[in-house]
């Protein structure tokens, strides 16, 4: 499995494109090529290789489900807990992830399938779920964005 391919998969929150190449994801979504993209990680150990979680909020980050945290370095991360998506993500440890739709548009399965290099569809198929909660975090405070 090539991590630089674009995968269409059901994530823990919604249908998403995943790749180690965030520029490919931004190009598909017709966004600024250098726009930052969420990084999904399969464990807290992997998260620690990217950023330091402030001691004050370690328990919150560890226990959070379907929650994205934006850290001081401006990068956003979600530790995946969903078993189905985690089976896929463990093969790569981490991947950039974005919803499988054009910016500000609804999910269109036919369009999304044309954009992906590889389609990973489980028994349940694809579905749009609730988006993740988003929190901005620094050494002193945590603020809910969505």
Burial state string for 126-143 with b = 16 or more CB within 10 A and e = fewer than 16: beeeeebbbbbbeeeeee
Tell me the per-residue pLDDT of 10-58, one tens digit each, with 9 for 90 and over: 998 899 999 999 999 999 999 999 999 999 999 999 999 999 999 999 9
H/E stretch holding 27: helix 22-28
**pTM, to two decimals:** 0.92
Please tell me the CATH code under which domain 7-144 is placed. 3.90.870.10
Tell me the per-residue pLDDT of 116-135, one tens digit each, with 9 for 90 and over: 999 998 878 888 888 889 99
């Amino acid at each position: 499995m090539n991590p630089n391919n674009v995968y269409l998969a059901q994530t823990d929150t919604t249908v998403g494109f995943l790749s180690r190449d965030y520029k490919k994801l931004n190009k598909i979504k017709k966004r600024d090529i250098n726009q930052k993209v969420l990084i999904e990680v399969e464990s807290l150990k992997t998260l620690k290789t990217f950023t330091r979680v402030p001691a004050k909020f370690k328990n919150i980050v560890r226990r959070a489900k379907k929650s994205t945290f934006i850290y001081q370095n401006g990068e956003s991360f979600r530790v995946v807990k969903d078993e189905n998506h985690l089976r896929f993500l463990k093969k790569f440890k981490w991947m950039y992830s974005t919803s499988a739709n054009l910016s500000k548009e609804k999910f269109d399965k036919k369009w999304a399938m044309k954009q992906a290099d590889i389609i990973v569809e489980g028994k349940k198929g694809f579905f749009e779920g609730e988006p993740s909660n988003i929190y901005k975090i620094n050494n002193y405070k945590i603020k809910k964005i969505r």
